[in-house]
Amino acid sequence: MSDIYMSDGIRWQKLIESSLKYLTIFKFYFQEKKSENLTEKLNKFQQFQNDFWHKQHQWYTNLEIYTRTSTIYTIPYEKDTYELTCNTDKHGYLWMKNSNVFDNVKTLTLTPKLIAKNSKCYFRNVESLILTRHSDENYDEDDDDDDDDDKPDLKSTEIKLLHTIVNLSNIKHLTIDEEFYANSSLLFDLLKELPNVSSLEIDEEQLMKFVKNNELCKYLNKNIKKLDISTGECLDERIFLNKIKIIFSQVFSNIEQFTCDYMKQVDDLLVILKECSNLVIIKCEVISKPVNSWILINASKLDVYFDFKSVNEETDDDEYNDDDDDEYDYDDDDEE
């Protein structure tokens, strides 16, 4: 069947009636570019709403219309990832709190300002929550308000409403998108609503803004076991700059797994190993030649597994000095 007719309910019905008479399970997810107007799209969706689909086979479908695309899918939604983002116009047979529409979803990408508008959705099995301003696929630039750039993307009212669409007790991992803005007190309030979150993925620059909140730092140190930081585009800077000792001694000393994009300085690695006694795994996309040299010499002496994908050959080996293994110079800020 041509891609042009993939979401044509009449053609599917004729095919099943003529050639697939014993078909009992039929699952699909059709996505199209938004080339039709709303009326045409709804008319096409109605082709899946007759007695053949509902009474004879109990096959139900939902329609979602975004800014640039639209999707028709069978219920329950089959994918394990879902984006609840801007400009979603929903139509369907089963939009109710007690339905199983999204029971297969394990990872939810959410724009908090849409929680109130999507009260009919419920995600009971989500394990990973991603907070974002918008989705690249569904974002409409015309809806962007530059005046809101300095305002938090998360509000207290949205935190209180979050449990109405998501089973919060099941969430174990939280990702804060790099463009998402929330102040430290709101992040703390959110984490208190997510009692089983032990894994955090966050941009390095964002995290640095949160460490001034003592209550939040204590909470993170007690509960976070896996930390994944994005270190930005500049590969010449140290992780957390001169704050690395504070970060790992006071905020994440109990982590068991640490992940980052790039590790250049041996001193950074040594601080992490020294301050995080429970550490089991360190993952890096790229490491420098000096860091690689140190790992080759010392890894067998440690109870830590190093997982990295590549070595940056442009770094100089003389950046690493064996004499630095036991003593390090920290900036004054680190000793406070």
Q: Are residues 120 and 135 in the same domain?
A: yes
Q: Looking at 74, 89, 107, which one is the last position of a domain?
A: 74
Q: Are residues 102 and 186 in the same domain?
A: yes
Q: What is the pLDDT of residues 32-90, one digit of tens each?
A: 876 667 888 888 899 999 999 999 999 999 998 887 888 999 999 999 999 987 667 88
Contact predicate 125/106, CB 8 Å: yes
Residue 20 sits in which domain range? 1-74
Contact predicate 90/62, CB 8 Å: yes
Contact predicate 301/327, CB 8 Å: no
Q: Are residues 55 and 100 in the same domain?
A: no
Among 248, 239, 271, 258, smallest CA distance to 201 is for 258
Per-residue CA distances from 333 to 119, 207, 244, 247, 269 (Å): 47, 17, 10, 12, 19
Residue 230 inside a domain? The answer is no
Q: Looking at 74, 107, 136, which one is the last position of a domain?
A: 74
Q: Are residues 60 and 105 in the same domain?
A: no
Q: Are residues 336 and 282 in the same domain?
A: yes
Q: How many CB atoms lie within 10 A of CB 232?
A: 13
Q: What is the number of domains present in the chain?
A: 3
How would you class 49 by CB atoms within 10 Å of its CB: exposed for 0-12, middle for 13-18, buried for 19 or more?
middle
Looking at beta carbons, which pairs linking 272-276 to residues 24 or more positions away fall under 8 Å? 272/244, 272/248, 273/302, 273/304, 275/245, 275/248, 275/249, 276/248, 276/252
Q: Are residues 123 and 193 in the same domain?
A: yes
How would you class 335 by CB atoms within 10 Å of its CB: exposed for 0-12, middle for 13-18, buried for 19 or more?
exposed
Residue 116 inside a domain? The answer is yes
Residue 204 inside a domain? The answer is no
Q: Are residues 259 and 287 in the same domain?
A: yes
Quick check: helix, strand or coil at residue 42?
A: helix
Residue 131 inside a domain? The answer is yes
Residue 20 inside a domain? The answer is yes
Q: Are residues 38 and 124 in the same domain?
A: no
Q: Are residues 88 and 186 in the same domain?
A: yes
Q: Are residues 65 and 138 in the same domain?
A: no
Residue 179 inside a domain? The answer is yes
Q: What is the pLDDT of residues 118-141, one digit of tens each?
A: 888 899 999 999 999 865 554 444
Residue 189 inside a domain? The answer is yes
Phi, psi angles (nearest 5°) of residue 163:
-65, -15
pLDDT tens across the length of the chain (336 residues):
445 568 899 999 999 999 999 999 999 999 887 666 788 888 889 999 999 999 999 999 999 888 788 899 999 999 999 998 766 788 876 555 557 899 999 999 999 998 988 888 899 999 999 999 865 554 444 444 444 556 778 999 999 999 999 999 999 999 999 889 889 999 999 999 999 999 999 988 888 888 889 999 999 999 999 999 986 555 556 667 668 888 999 999 999 999 998 888 899 999 999 999 999 999 999 999 999 999 999 989 999 999 999 998 875 554 445 444 444 443 434 433
Among 271, 231, 227, smallest CA distance to 249 is for 271
Q: Are residues 138 and 158 in the same domain?
A: yes
> DSSP per residue over 197-224, as a string?
--EEEEEHHHHHHHTT-HHHHHHHHHH-
Q: Looking at 74, 100, 131, which one is the last position of a domain?
A: 74
Q: Are residues 88 and 128 in the same domain?
A: yes
Residue 225 inside a domain? The answer is no
In the numeric block, the tokens 């929550």 are attached to 129
